[in-house]
Each structure stands twice: as structure tokens, then as C-alpha cells.
Structure 1
Amino acid sequence: MDIVIRNARVLTMDTNDTEYERADVLIANGIIEKIGPDASVGIDTEGARVIDGQGKLVMPGLINAHFHSPVNFLKGALVDAPLELYMLYEVPPLQCQTVDGDYAYTRTMLGAVELLKQGVTTNHDDCFFVPVPTEEEVGAVMQAYTDAGIRASVTMCQVNVREYEKYPFLYDLLPDDIRTEMEEVPLLTTDELIGHYEQFIDKWHGTSGNRIRCSVSCSAPQRVTPDCLRALNDLSAKYNIPYNMHILETKLQRVLGQEMHGKSFIQYVKDQGVLTDRSVVIHSIWVDDDDIAAMAESGCSIVHNPISNLKIGSGVMPFRRLKQAGINIGLGIDEVPVDDGCNLWTVGKTAGLVHKIADPEYHQWPKEDEILEMLTRGGARSMGLQDQVGMLQEGFRADMLLIDLDTLPFTPLHNLKRALVFCENGASLKMTIVDGKIVVEDGEILTVDEPALRKKVRGYADQLERQLQEMTESADRLAPYYREMYLKATARDVGMNRWAGPMQP
């Protein structure tokens, strides 16, 4: 036996919603061997770490179902704006300079450490490589996750169409010189991208005892060619791995679907044959009833990113209608600059609050058990890991948290689940266990020299300042045309409103 936790309160989050006021949890070889009252009685604990769980809660680790690690250095750096303008300042479309491995490793590790210290045991990183992936940068990202000790699945979130092809009206709004510059940015062909993916999967998928995995991403269906969209789906089917797609995050994307295809992007991906039970539809805000029905029929998952949606004004997802359709939903941070941190507890609380301003029928508001399910089982299902993590069950991987109940968020304690969703912010975390290994204890990350990491990040200060200045100058040059495009799309009647109040004249 590797770890024995005795006399803890246990919230399993299993499908029977099993809870124990007092129970033991036995962990061996990364697996949950046994859970239950007095489960450790009579077992040989020699060589095991025995933990007194009195006054503590054991629960599944949180699962961050959507993340973009390449912007981990931009915490608090960007001014709020709608997505289409916001992205100009974080991922400049004219950028042609790649980053070296050391930079990418440090950047990824910074996010992994903060996630683990907040109780996230599994992270789904929709990782983009600008302008194209290099073996050095991809390897650095994967090595960082390996060394951090977190469970992670990573994509290569690449586009292969020109910038002005991803938006409505933009081509005609841009001056000739900017269009020409956009045409000079390197792009991968479908065959080149699939080749990168095959090498990526061959080298990294299932490594570290299956703790490190690969997924597939088209970024968004409008950001790749139709043949690339389908080829990525074929790859997803070949390896039975998730296929990430940002779909209908903004009203502009709803307008774009009508302009490009005469239909929403949900209907487009359905018609392309790529909306399946492996699909992970990220955001899903500006969807209608037909879209919801198509997603429910496909068996896909949705990832809800409520703080991101608020930060950049994308709108409020129709949570209850999606839930009533039987669609699996996970929760995501999205990225550091739209969360200004890596706190999935705050994401859960926000998900529990934001829908209350979108629906006066209070019986429809999200309940605390639904929020906790999205933070655990829902995220696991979206990653295809529903038989491995997301609940505490014998035979599952030992990914779990030890929470101190003798803290202010739980004093007094009336309802455990409500306290976890609406009171806790991660400060009560005593221990994070991933794959049966203790990676965080009493606020200290055990797999990484955190002070050295922070010092190294600060050493990039001058470089980051220069990069931000260059990014801002490039974005400022493009912003007037994107604003005109945004306002034109915003004025279009799409038959729905996903903002909390009526549109202003």
C-alpha cells in the first residue's frame, strides 16, 4: 500500500452520489484500492504514507476541461475587449516568430504549478503554436506537464486559413497592404498538420503511465479548411481521442456561419460528419434549439467557460436548455489572461451565479451538485477519461484532494456541496494527489522548485515587456478594421440574444 487516508469525510462524486461521514481510502500503484468505513483495518501499512483524515474531506481532483497554456505569461496584461479584438492583442495574426524550448517549458510549468496548487489534477490544454509547431516547442510543453506531475491532455490548436477568411466582412474592410501581410504568414497544409500530429501522438500519447495524453483540435471550424476539419476527425477516430472545437462563442461567429454556409457552425460540423461523441464543443453560447438537438444527438460534450465569457463579453450560455437536452458539460478556465489566474473554484462559483441573471425562473438555476459534477465527472467525460478519473471509485486512478474542513469557508458548515461551490476558493487545500503521488502538500508543490521557477519567470520581464509592446503596436494597427467588422456583426439580427440585458440602440 502506498497511501492510507484514515477517518476522513469522503465525497466520492460517483454516479450514486456516495458520501461517507467517516471512511478510509487506500491507494496502491496509482489506483484506488478500497474506500469505506474501516477499510484500512487489518491491512499492512509498512512503508505506506498514513494520513490522519480527521477533520478533512477527501474528494476527486478538479478537472480543467479547457485551457490555452501559451498565454500563461499574460496574467493581468490585457485590456478587456470582445473576443475578435481581444485576440489581436494576445495572438497577433501577423506574428511569425516562434519561441524557444526553455521559454515554452517555463511558461507551461508556471500554469501547471498554479493549477496543481489550486486542486486541479487534470488539465486539457488546447495548445496553439504560433505560427506553426516546432519539435522544440511542442516537446518543451509536453515535458513540462510530465515533470509537474499533473494529468494532462494536449492538442496542437492550429489554423490553416488566412486571417481574413476567419471573419465576416473583414476582407473588404482591410487595406491592400495588410491583406498582403496576412498572406505572407506561414500556414500548414492539411497533410503537413496531420504529419505533425502523427509524430506528436507517436511520441507523447499515453506516456508517464498514461498520465500524459494527446487530443486533436481544429481551433474552430472556420479556422481550418474543410478537408483539414475532416482529416482531424479521422485522426480523432483512429486514436479514439477528443476533438476540440470552439463553436459559437460570439454573436459574430453566428453571423459568420450564415455568411459562409447559410447555417450555424453546429449544423456545418454536423453536415461535415465531424460532430460525434468525441467532439468537445467549447463555449456553445450563440446556439439555437436545432443546434442543441444536434449536439444532444451526437453525444458530444460542451465545455462552459463562464469567467472567460464574462471577461470578453461573449454572452451567457443557455445552461439549462443544454443540460435538459442531456448534453455532458465540463468547466474550463480557458486561459490565464481571461481568468487572471488559474482558479477553477472561482469558475465553478461563477457558473453557479451567472445564469441567475439570464433566467428569472429560479427553479432553472444551476444547483451545487450540478456544478461539482461539471468540475469532476463532466470534465472527465469531455476528455474521454470517464472510466479513469472524475470520481473516487475502486479501480479508478488515484486523483484526489484533501481539504481542511477546519477553515473559515466551512465554519459553520451547513451544506458541504454548497460550501465547496460558493465558499471555498482553494485556500483550504491541504494536499493534491495525482496518479497516487502527492504533488502538493500544505501549500508547497513537491515536484518543482517553485521559488526558482518564479525567479526564472521574472527574468523574462524585459523580454515580455518588449513582446507586449510589439503585440500592442501590431494590434492597434488592425483594431479599427476589426472594430468596424465587430459592430457590423453585432448589429445583425440573429434571432436570439445571449447578453444579460437588451441590446442598446
Structure 2
Amino acid sequence: MTLLFKNATILAMDKTHGTTPFSGDLLVEGDSIAAVDRDLAAPADARVVDATGRLIMPGLINAHLHSSETFFKGRYQGTPLEVWMLYSYPILMKGPIPKRLLYLRSLLTAMESLKAGVTTLVDDFFDPPDFDIARLTRVFDAYDDAGIRANISHCVIDRHVFDTMPYLREIMPAALQDEVDGPSITVADYMAYCADVFGSQHGRADRLGFMVSASAPQRCSVEMMQACVNLARDKGVPYHTHVLETKTQAVTGPEFYGRSLIRYMKDIGVLTANTTIAHSIWVSDADMAMMREAGCSVAHNAVSNLKLGSGIAPVRRLLDAGVHVGLGTDGLSSNDTARIFDVMRFAALLHDIAAPDTERWVTAAEVLRSATIGGARTAMLDAVTGSLEVGKRADLIMLDITGYDYMPMNRLDHHLVYCENGSNIRLVMVNGQVVVEDNRLTTIDEAEIFAELRELLPAYLAEHEELERLNARFEPYMREMYRRATIQDIGMNRYQGDLPLWPGVNRREG
């Protein structure tokens, strides 16, 4: 396709312009941006779009998402991560989701993302208990059909769930422990599986890639993590993991390893420039210094962290330390939407309560960078997408900036972060293909997909409700583990407010 946007307001997010908008034209030829300038002549075969009163900006990057949760949107509240996972990722299961629903779940994730202006997503896919390339291929199929750009993992865990959190073995009744099997995957098996995926799916459609994901340092063996990092380096892809999302995890490091989880990762050689850490809430100054030295990245999930009560990440200090920061929704059960515009607004507002020094507040410009070129860096795709530059792939969105959210227009980056929610999107392009126009997906029949979901989901959700009842037996012990970890004084605080940590237990400030 050749497409020329004429008379647009352009937010390039490149090194020359940053978040400063300018007027001009943008030419797309094939899958890439061919020119960004004033008064460009239209090639003979070009479709010309009058972009007067429209903003052209890079498509948004969702730096951390779990499509495995999409069917549980709006289902849970009032549960911290460790309890919530009992239901969203049941430790007792009756088998994997059927392949057709697996495809539809991934497709629905991509559809909602594209209509929200997300052109690239990082899906930390989880599909216990087995590693079946035919099933992962269905995820790639869905993202291929939708037309989105994606990094897709198949997250691995090789430690027993009761050995991934402190105190559980002593708290959990033996009879319940006996009901739960441990993972059976070996390092050799996972490496062989990854080799097959890299050989058959990586680079598919020139916009879908495979990344390596060991779930978390406390959930995986040293041998598994080291093998994953070495593979990620060899393939030039991210090593995607979860670190210090909750206070429980902050307690886990000293309890299990006698040091913070970041120090542990550094000591075993898995804190690298390829490492992207989801969350990074309960990190210390010493942790952040190690992260800066390693050149690693963080996917900040402001909305999910609030819903699960995990705490507030020290984003100002992460940015000041030179850590690359992107924005993620997290799964659509702990966030409940795929809208990065929502995450942008929360990320911009949330950190204003961290300290009264306004010079230290996170700015709208910094949030915009995290949602675009910064997010692309966390996915190791910043040479491909995240900014509007000649030679980069044409991943962009066009917004109407003549309506309520921009009347009057004061400062564009502020309007995008504090006012926009995606409702002004008029066109979305990925890899040079128009995938959304006038609020309609061009690649998928939405009505047909929704009709099939309405037919298939009631039985699936009824079965999941049975699993919830089965797993609810573990909740009192998970909550006691959570309580014990929460009341520990670890020398830092990532909660806000004036309530005690627990009845009768004072909170540590600072």
C-alpha cells in the first residue's frame, strides 16, 4: 500500500522532535515510512488522506500483557496477587483451554488492543501444563489474522508453586500440598521447545516474534534462567520476567537466597541488557543501581499494580537511574482493559503523590516516551517501531484532535496523557496495513467473532467457576502467607495512605 497523509499534525517521538508536534505530510510505501516532510507530492498510485485536524503519532506499545487472562476481565477484585493467582491461574486444573477458544482469546486480545491504538503488544503467554507448539501456533495465528505486531512468549516455571513463596510449606496442610503436582518440564525440554518455535514461528508475517520468558527468579531454577538468558542473547530477543511485584516477593529474596531478587539475578548472570522486568515495585536504590549497570528494562503496570494492591513503583528513580521504562496493561483480569491510554493517565498522575517536590514528578512527555519509543526499547523493537522515522515500519495511529478532549488545544502531550482515552482514534496502521478505520477493524469480522464467543464462553466460564471453588480451599493459607510477608519490616515502603499494614501492625514510612 502507498498512503500519503496530508496536512497532519505529527508527533514523531524521534530524537529530533521528541514530544514537540509539527505540521507536515507522512508517506507510507509498502510496510515502511518513506518520507516525513512538508508538501510531499503524492505518488501516482497513492491513497491520499486529508489529515487536517488530525494527529499522526506512533502506535502505542503494550510492554507487558497476559492474553491468558482475557476471558476473566471484570471477574475479580479485592485480592492481592498471590490470592488472585489461585483463580486466574488455578493451581488445580482440569486441562488446558480448548484450541478454538485459545485462538479466539488471543484474537479478542489483539482486536481490543488495535482498537485502543496499541500496534505492538508483548504477550507473556502462559499455557500450563504442557508445552505444545501446535497450541502456541494458534496464538501466532490469531495475531497474524488480526494484523498486530507482537512479541510472544511461552512462560516457563520449573519449581513447585509451594516452593515459590515464603512460609507456604509450613502453613499449607499436607493433604492440600499432596494434591498439587510440581512442574515436569526440564531445561533440555524447554530449550528444545524454544528451538522449534524459533524455527517455525519467529519472524512470521514480518511482525510476530518469539521471546524467552522464565516467569520469575523465585519460580525457576538457576539452570533454567541461565539457559533462557543465553538463548535470548543468542537470538537477540528479550528475556522477559517478573521481579519484585509484591512485598511478598521482596521478602522472598532474603528468605530464600539471603539477598534481594535483583542481587540474586545479577549474581547468577541473568540481569542483562536483554532482561525486561515486569513491575519492579519493591526495588531498592542498590537494586536500581544494578539495573542501570546491566542496561535492563522495566515494564511499568500502573493500573494492575493498583488493582492488586501491589504498591507503587519508584518510576522517577528508575528513570533517573537510566533504566528503560515502558508501559504495560498486564493481563486483562488484573487491569480489565487493553487501553494503554488509561495506563498513561494513571502513570502520569500516580507518581505525583510520591513526594511534594514537583521537580521530581513524572511528566507527560516522559509518559509518552514510555508508551512509544521507550516501550519499543523494552521489547527490543526500537529499531523497528515506536517513532515515526523514515525507514521504520509504518506502525501509527491517527486521532481527531478537533473535539472536546482538545478544545481548546493548550499543550498536545498533556492532552494525550490527561484527556485522551482512545475514543478519538480514527485510523490504526501496522506494518503499512490499515487495520482499524472509523472504529472498525478491517482484518476481522467483529460481529462474527463476538457471536461465536457468546456461544462458546458460557460453558467454559461455568467450568472455570468449578475450578474456582476447587482452588478456594487454598485461599486461607495463601492469605496467611500474604499477611506474614506483609507485616515484615524490610526497610522500605511502596504503599500509600495512612492505614496500618495490618490490624495492630504499624506501617513503616518512606
Normalised by the shorter chain, which TM-score bucket?
A: over 0.9
Q: What is residue 446 of structure 2 aligned with on the other side? A: 450
Structure 2 partner of 1:421: 417
Confirm or deny that 1:168 pairs with 2:169. Answer: no
Distance in 2 between residues matched to 1:20 and 1:353, nearest whole Å: 23
State the Cα distance separating 1:474 from its structure 2 match: 2.2
Equivalent residue for 2:192, pick from 167, 192, 195: 195
After TM superposition, give the deviation of residue 96 of structure 1 in Å.
4.8
3-state secondary structure, aligned to 2:362 = coil
How large is the Cα RMSD of the aligned pairs?
A: 1.2
1:238 equivalent among 234, 237, 252: 234
Write the letter of the residue equivalent to 2:52: Q
Deviation at 1:467, TM superposition (A): 2.6
Distance 2:65 2:365 in 1: 23
CA-to-aligned-CA distance 1:410-451 (integer Å, 9 cap, x gap):
111111110000000000000000001100000000000100
* 1:456 CA displacement: 1.2
Once the two structures are overlaid, the 10-residue window that deviates more, 348-357 or 127-136, is 127-136
- Residue pairs, 1:1-400, within 5 angstroms: 2-17=2-17, 19-38=20-39, 40-41=40-41, 43-44=42-43, 46-182=44-180, 184-209=181-206, 211-400=207-396
TM-score, length of structure 2 as denominator length: 0.96
CA displacement, residues 455-503 of structure 1 (integer Å, 9 cap, x when unaligned): 1111123223323312321231000010110101111110000001255
- CA offset at residue 359 of structure 1? 1.6
Query: Residue deviations 1:324-372, cap 9 Å, x none?
Result: 1111100000011112111110000000011122222222111110000
Q: Secondary structure of 1:336's match?
A: coil
Deviation at 1:20, TM superposition (A): 5.0
Q: What's the CA shift for 1:80?
A: 2.7
Q: What amino acid does structure 1 have at the position aligned with 2:324?
A: N
SS at match of 2:399: strand
CA contact (8 A) 2:21 2:412 kept: no
The secondary structure found in structure 1 opposite 2:241 is strand
Determine the structure 2 residue equivalent to 1:437: 433
Instruction: Note the alpha carbon deviations across 1:214-239, whole angstroms, 9 max, x for none.
Output: 11111111111111011111110110
Amino acid at match of 1:9: T
Letter of the 2:174 partner, please give it: D
Give the AA of the match of 2:217.
Answer: P
> Separation in 2 of the partners of 1:339 and 1:208?
29
Q: Relative to structure 1, is the Cα distance of residues 261 and 186 closer, same or farther in structure 2, using a 3 angstrom cutoff?
A: closer
Structure 2 residue identity aligned to 1:387: A
> Aligned partners of 1:187 and 1:375: how far apart in 2?
37
* CA–CA separation in structure 2 for the residues paired with 1:340 and 1:328: 25
2:508 — aligned with what? none
1:470 to 466, 470, 493: 466
Residue 490 (1) aligns with residue 491 (2): no
**DSSP 3-state at the match of 1:93:** coil
Equivalent residue for 2:475?
479
Percent of aligned pairs sharing the same letter: 38
Q: Number of paired residues?
A: 500
**Whole-angstrom distance in 2 between the partners of 1:137 and 1:254:** 34
Is the Cα–Cα contact under 8 Å of residues 13 and 391 in structure 1 kept in the other structure? yes
Moved over 3 A (4+): 18-21
- Which deviations, in whole Å up to 9, do the C-alpha atoms of 1:136-173 show, x marking residues without a partner? 32111110001110000101112111110110000111
Matched-pair contact (CA < 8 Å) for 1:100–1:137: no
Superposed displacement of residue 187, structure 1:
2.5
Give the whole-Å Cα distance in 1 for the aligned partners of 2:286 and 2:498. 23
Residues 376 and 382 in structure 2, CA contact (< 8 A), matched pair in contact too: yes
Q: SS where residue 207 of structure 1 aligns?
A: coil
Query: How far apart are the structure 2 equivalents of 1:158 and 1:92?
Result: 16
Give the Cα separation in 2 of the matches to 1:344 and 1:80.
Answer: 23
User: Where does structure 2 lack aligned partners over 5 or more consecutive residues?
Assistant: 506-510
Q: Distance in 2 between matches of 1:164 and 1:54?
A: 58
Question: Normalising to structure 1: TM-score of the pair?
Answer: 0.97
Q: What is the SS of the residue equivalent to 1:156? A: coil
Q: Distance in 2 between matches of 1:442 and 1:29?
A: 22
The structural deviation recorded for 1:250 is 0.4
Unaligned runs of 5+ in 1: none
Q: Is the 8 A contact 2:160 2:183 kept in 1?
A: no
CA contact under 8 A between 2:7 and 2:52: conserved in structure 1?
A: yes
Secondary structure, aligned partner of 1:65: strand
Contact 1:330–1:379 under 8 Å retained in 2: yes
The CA distance in 1 between the partners of 2:92 and 2:412, in whole Å, is: 49
Taking the aligned partners of 2:388 and 2:16, their CA distance within structure 1 comes to: 11
**CA distance, structure 2, for counterparts of residue 190 and residue 370 of structure 1:** 39
Tell me the distance in 1 between the aligned counterparts of 2:300 and 2:458.
35
Q: Which amino acid aligns with 2:195?
A: E
